Structure 1
Amino acid sequence: MKASGTALAIFNNFLGQSPNWYKLTIIMFLFINPLVFINHPYLAGWLLVIEFIFTLAMALKCYPLLPGGLLAIQAIAMGMTSTNKVMHEVTMNIEVILLLVFMVAGIHFVKDLLLFVFTKLLIRVRSKIGISMAFTFMAAFLSAFLDALTVVAVVIAVGIGFYAIYHKISSGKGFVDPHDHSVDTEVAELSRADLDAFRGFLRNLLMHAGVGTALGGVSTMVGEPQNLIIAAAVGWDFAEFALRMSAVSVPILICGLLTTVVVEKFRIFDFGVRLPTAVQDVLIAYDKYQTAKITSSDIAKLWVQGIIAVLLILCLSLHIASVGLIGLMVIILATTFCGVTDEHAIGHAFKEALPFTALLVVFFAIVAVIIDQHLFTPVIAWVLTFDGQLQLAMLFLANGALSMVSDNVFVGTVYINEVKAAWEAGRISREQFELLAIAINTGTNLPSVATPNGQAAFLFLLTSALAPLIRLSYAKMVWMAIPYTIVLTVVGLTCTVFVLPEVTHWFYDAGWIHHYVPGAAAVSGH
């Protein structure tokens, strides 16, 4: 009797407050995996990937770090990969980890300025289509020069700030009263409908911004980490990469912004939620309150944060140092000149990013399994059997499909290395190699908006503190991303296959880009 009670207690403690069906599903995964691996290692690898995606999809039931971590530990214990391989993946992505640790915390210390600026924006721009396009374009522009995670971190900080303000007022509190905005028990009954609408409004803006990071990230060699790897393999600098990509990136940006207008205009796929009048009144009152009580010290802090923000953009766009180190610089400058000297106040800024950082390391363990079990090898070999424009199309689609379930950096690296090896072996021409490099870049960046695990920025948003507050689930993100996925995939594929070769030849004829000559400087296309 005592043993059965202990067993029940262990089960109740397992994954805490998660539903029993979810707990039993995870236990079933852990039981099935060894049996499948013994007989079919390749099948077991794909099964593990699907199980990990399931844990991401159920992020609102349980934070994916726990079940995903259990799956990763089991995979290593069974020999599907090794700790050395996981460590190699972590080392290769150390810049992303430092970015999360320091840059996200750095954004926390300039949130006063962000809230000030975006409150003015929301009050003055009454058009939902206008504000939506502003968020999409802003995210696209910044992501062409900055890291997408940094851009999303800014939007998340702003979203939490807005949500906390209205939630506090709708709970009968004042602007300065302490309040827990994660609990709805104090929200007045008459305010609940407005609160739900406000959640929908914030979901719209966050999804627009998230997609915007993909629109801008595809256009330059610094937009996404895999872009740097692709540019290095082909030997392009910043200007040439951007010019060659323009045949795809410019139409993609235009069509992406038009998609924003369409989904907002016709209120489809859960877009088109307007900012409730009651919420706007609260934001206007908050803006007046902040303006009335602002002191010379507050003004000085806003100026300091503004200067730091400009310095941040300059350092990131000029690539003075690793993004994570620049984030650490932001922390040091912002805390020093804004008078934040208490250890606990500084430590609070790190709470948002560290759980996701741990989850990312678990994700790298899954990527290590993908590599060691050669899960993508058959797909890569199949794509390289095609020729010409069909090869461009298949490479784009294969990259897009694999990037929806795996790390974009890994997919891009694997494909560019295979394509470069094919060129060096004389199986494809230099011109085809360059076109395939662009197809790899567009394939990893565009269709991957379909799922949160396809874009690091989306995954960061899904697992942020804001997602449960505004009821943004994995399924909701997938549903809202559908129109963008269709447009970006169709337009990206069309431009890559049909427009890109023609525009590239025109660039050659105009002398804007040059043919590659082995062992010599590039020569003009004339």
Structure 2
Amino acid sequence: MQQTMVQALYKNFLGNAPDWYKQAIIGFLIINPFLFTMSPYIAGWALVLEFIFTLAMALKCYPLQPGGLLLIEAIFMGMTSTDLIRHEIEVNLEVILLLVFMVAGIYFMKDLLLFAFTKLLIRLKSKAALSLAFCGAAAVLSAFLDALTVVAVIITVATGFYSIYHKVASGKEYHHDHDHTEDEHLHHLSRQDLEDFRSFLRNLMMHAAIGTALGGVMTMVGEPQNLIIAHKANWDFIEFFIRMSPITIPVFIAGLITTFFLEKFKLFSYGAQLPQPVREILMEYDAHLDEKRSQRENAKLLVQGVVAVWLVIGLGLHLAAVGLIGLSVIVLTTSFCGIVEEHALGHAFEEALPFTALLCVFFGVVAVIIQQQLFTPVIDWVLTFEGKTQMLMFYLANGLLSMVSDNVFVGSVYITEVGAALEHGHITRDEFDMLAVAINTGTNLPSVATPNGQAAFLFLLTSALAPLLRLSYGRMVYMALPYTVVLTLVGLASVYLNLYDMTEWFYEMHWINHHTPGLGASPSH
């Protein structure tokens, strides 16, 4: 039957997304102008919740299109301006550059990463030990690099593992002359093996993602808002680490213990083992590559290893913006590995650019939050408290808002408000320092609850790997839940019990600067 133009337009709208999803987005677009005429504040919160809905349904439809439509409508309604959105993007330019160049740089190092992690996977038979290794390594790397870079590395590794399995299972891979043939491999592989392998990789990805949060909170380079907070407080790398340690060290230990318990007792869908047929495939594939590896391929691994050292040094010493170091990684690896054709370079950017565009839409939603002052009532309310209670409320408020929006935005908004309170003499410099710690830990720890809380989690959710592993928004929230509870409560207890006493001890040891001569004074730097 001949379609009408309206039917054709509707069919094309959001492509293969389910009808109920299309109707929900159309409903949002119709209702928002009415909400805006009633109350811009309510319309602002509605937009935030609608955008979270598009993130939650990322496997039904990539959030860029529906989220972008909602934002375009919001701009035309006057909920925010393109100038404010541009300002938000400018403020977060380092994150944009990181995504464009660093993720592409990691792509060109995948041979080395796959080589190293395959060896790790084969050697460590214990799943609990492997999970601790992934979580711990991600934490250490995130403390010196940044969480997004580390997640890009882990995604590259997991995609490599999956592609090896897929090639063998679909009969596209090598004949191993000395051992099994493809037919024998296929005989051993079952649908259950695939499901178990997906579960196994999902476990490792979530442990590693949590690890990036555990390490990312510790240092000023771990997360973008850490840099903002360190800059406002005038702390260097060492002072930042020491000031955070009364909270971050207990939380790190609690996080690793949680990893062990989840794996040991197979809770929250953790504890999936690597199927033996898949382990055999990976071992044979690794042996096959070792046997066939030419001198040129060895030279590529050597170059990638040297570039990896440069990457760690460059990021650890903060020699340049993260994205620019990523650009140097692209230039160095491609130059010395012989990748000089334009189309060969293009593949590296396929993973990150859709997410970069989505992040710009996200910054547009943040611009709506700012212009409509959606968080102002919460900030004003928290500032009415005093002493330890105020620190706890700052920690919790930052955590809750970070779950809803973005920890970078929440952290920068709160530290700006606290800085203003210090300038106006409402709080002392010592109180400012304590609140800065509460803000940093509050934005970094409870925000693991949802993928929109941390850019690294959102990147994982919207990556090409997520649908392969059936890693949906709901599943990420469910698998992160035990970590969310443990990290939030241990962080809260540490803020209440440790922060004040440990900070006083650090003052006595002269490890950090005591900025105020007395509680009544509030001098700035």
In the aligned structure 1, how far is the partner of 2:422 from the partner of 2:328?
A: 42
State how far apart, in whole Å, the 2-side matches of 1:188 and 1:482 are.
Answer: 38
Letter of the 1:207 counterpart: M
Instruction: Give the aligned residue type for 2:387.
Output: G
> Which deviations, in whole Å up to 9, do the C-alpha atoms of 1:241-271 show, x marking residues without a partner?
1111110111011000000001000111111
Identical counterparts, % of pairs: 64
Listed one character per residue, the Cα deviations across residues 303-339 of structure 1 (whole Å, up to 9, x for unaligned) are 0110011111111101111111111111111111001
Hey, what does 1:494 align to over in structure 2?
Answer: 493
Q: Relative to structure 2, which stretch is displaced further, 415-424 or 29-38?
A: 415-424
Q: CA deviation at 1:405?
A: 1.5
Judged with a 3 Å threshold, the aligned counterparts in structure 2 of structure 1 residues 335 and 411 are, in CA distance, closer, same or farther, namely: same
Go from structure 1 to structure 2 and tell me whether the alpha carbon gap of 1:81 and 1:187 turns closer, same or farther (over 3 Å shift): farther
In structure 1, what is the Cα distance between the partners aligned to 2:276 and 2:326? 37
Residues matched between the structures, number: 509
Instruction: Indicate the residue corresponding to 1:451 in structure 2.
Output: 450
Partner of 1:194: 193
**One-letter code aligned to 1:448:** S
2:113 is matched with 114
SS of residue paired to 1:21: helix
Q: Distance in 1 between matches of 2:497 and 2:14?
A: 51
**Greater mean deviation of Cα atoms: 441-450 or 498-507:** 498-507
C-alpha separation in 2, matches of 1:139 and 1:175: 32
Give the aligned partner of residue 521 of structure 1. Answer: none
CA shift digits 1:161-215 (9 cap, x unpaired):
00000011112232489xxxxxxxx988952110111000110001011010110
Alignment of structure 1 residues 125-140 onto 2, 5 Å: 125-140=124-139
Residue number in structure 1 paired with 2:251? 252
- 1:419-434 counterparts in 2 under 5 A? 419-434=418-433
Partner in structure 1 of residue 99 of structure 2: 100
SS at match of 1:206: helix
Q: What is residue 351 of structure 2 aligned with on the other side?
A: 352
Question: Which residues in structure 2 correspond to 1:177-188 (within 5 Å)?
Answer: none
The alpha-carbon deviation at position 229 of structure 1 amounts to 1.2
Q: Which amino acid is the alignment partner of residue 192 of structure 2?
A: A
For the Cα contact (< 8 Å) 1:140–1:217, is it kept in 2? yes
1:377 is the counterpart of 2:368 = no
2:189–2:277 CA contact under 8 A, matched in 1: no
Which residue in the other structure is 2:513 paired with?
514
Which residue does 2:210 correspond to in 1?
211
Which residue does the alignment assign to 1:159?
Answer: 158
Question: Aligned pair in 2 of structure 1 residues 382, 517: CA closer, same or farther (>3 Å)?
Answer: closer
Contact 1:203 1:472 in 2 (8 A): yes
Post-superposition CA distance 1:86-117 (Å, at most 9, x none) = 10011111111111111100111110000001
RMSD value, Cα: 1.5
Deviations 1:386-432 (A, max 9, x none): 01111011100000011111121211111111112212222222221
In the alignment, is the contact (CA less than 8 A) between 1:170 and 1:188 conserved in 2?
no
C-alpha distance in 2, partners of 1:448/1:480? 14
Q: Deviations over 1:469-524 (max 9, x none)?
A: 00000000000000000001000011012211011111112222221159xxxxxx
CA contact (8 A) 2:188 2:277 kept: no
In 2, the alpha carbon distance for the partners of 1:189 and 1:54 equals: 41
Q: Which residue of 2 aligns with 1:271?
A: 270
Counterpart of 1:238?
237
- Equivalent residue, structure 2, for 1:45: 44
Structure 2: stretches of 5+ with no match in the other structure: 177-184, 518-525
SS of alignment partner, residue 349 of structure 1: helix
* Structure-2 separation of matches of 1:369 and 1:382: 21
Alignment TM-score, normalising by the size of structure 1 = 0.95
Map of 1:8 onto structure 2: 7
Matches of 1:424 and 1:376 in 2, distance apart?
A: 21
Counterpart in 2 of 1:148? Answer: 147
Q: CA contact under 8 A between 1:171 and 1:188: conserved in structure 2? A: no
- My pick for the range that moved more, 157-166 or 406-415, is 406-415
Q: Find the residue that maps to 1:514 and give its secondary structure.
A: coil
CA distance in 2, matches of 1:350, 1:86: 24
Cα deviation code 1:264-291 (max 9, x no counterpart): 0011111110000011000001011101
AA of the residue aligned to 1:469: L
State the AA in 1 paired with 2:297. Answer: D
Q: Give the C-alpha shift of residue 159 in structure 1.
A: 0.5
2:428 and 2:516 in contact (8 A); partners too: no
Would the aligned equivalents of 2:429 and 2:516 in 1 still touch at CA under 8 Å? Answer: no
Distance 1:460 1:176, change over 3 A: farther
CA distance in 2, matches of 1:53, 1:100: 21
Distance 2:72 2:186 in 1: 42
The residue number in structure 2 matching 1:291 is 290
Matches within 5 A, 1:59-78: 59-78=58-77
> In structure 2, how many angstroms separate the alpha carbons of the residues matched to 1:362 and 1:158?
28
Q: Which amino acid aligns with 2:480?
A: A
Q: Which consecutive aligned stretches of 4+ in structure 1 deviate over 4 angstroms post-superposition?
A: 186-190
Question: Which amino acid in 2 is paired with 1:222?
Answer: V
Q: Aligned letter for 2:338?
A: G
Q: Is the 8 A contact 1:167 1:187 kept in 2?
A: no
Cα pair 1:144 1:217 within 8 Å, conserved: yes
**Further displaced range: 369-378 or 4-13:** 4-13
Q: Which amino acid aligns with 1:280?
A: R
What whole-Å deviation, never above 9, does each CA across 1:210-229 have from its counterpart, x for those lacking one?
Answer: 01011011111111111111
Post-superposition offset of 1:345: 0.6
Amino acid at match of 1:35: F
In the alignment, residue 293 of structure 2 is paired with which amino acid? I
Structure 2 counterpart of 1:422, one-letter code: A
Cα distance in structure 1, aligned partners of 2:394 and 2:505: 23
Change (3 A) 1:47 1:294: same
Q: Does 1:411 align with 2:392?
A: no
Separation in 2, partners of 1:188, 1:19? 36
Unaligned runs of 5+ in 1: 178-185, 519-526
Contact 2:229/2:412 (<8 A) preserved = yes
Instruction: Give a deviation string over 1:321-371, Cα, whole Å, max 9, x none.
Output: 111111111111111100111110111111010000000000000000000
Alpha-carbon separation, structure 1, partners of 2:362 and 2:175: 40
Distance (whole Å) between structure 2 residues aligned to residue 188 and residue 440 of structure 1: 55
Q: Distance in 2 between matches of 1:248 and 1:494?
A: 9
- Secondary structure at 2:307 match in 1: helix
Once residues 301 and 57 of structure 2 are traced to their aligned partners in structure 1, the CA distance between those partners, rounded to angstroms, is 39
Contact 1:106-1:330 at 8 Å conserved across structures: yes
Q: Is the 8 A contact 2:405 2:453 kept in 1?
A: yes
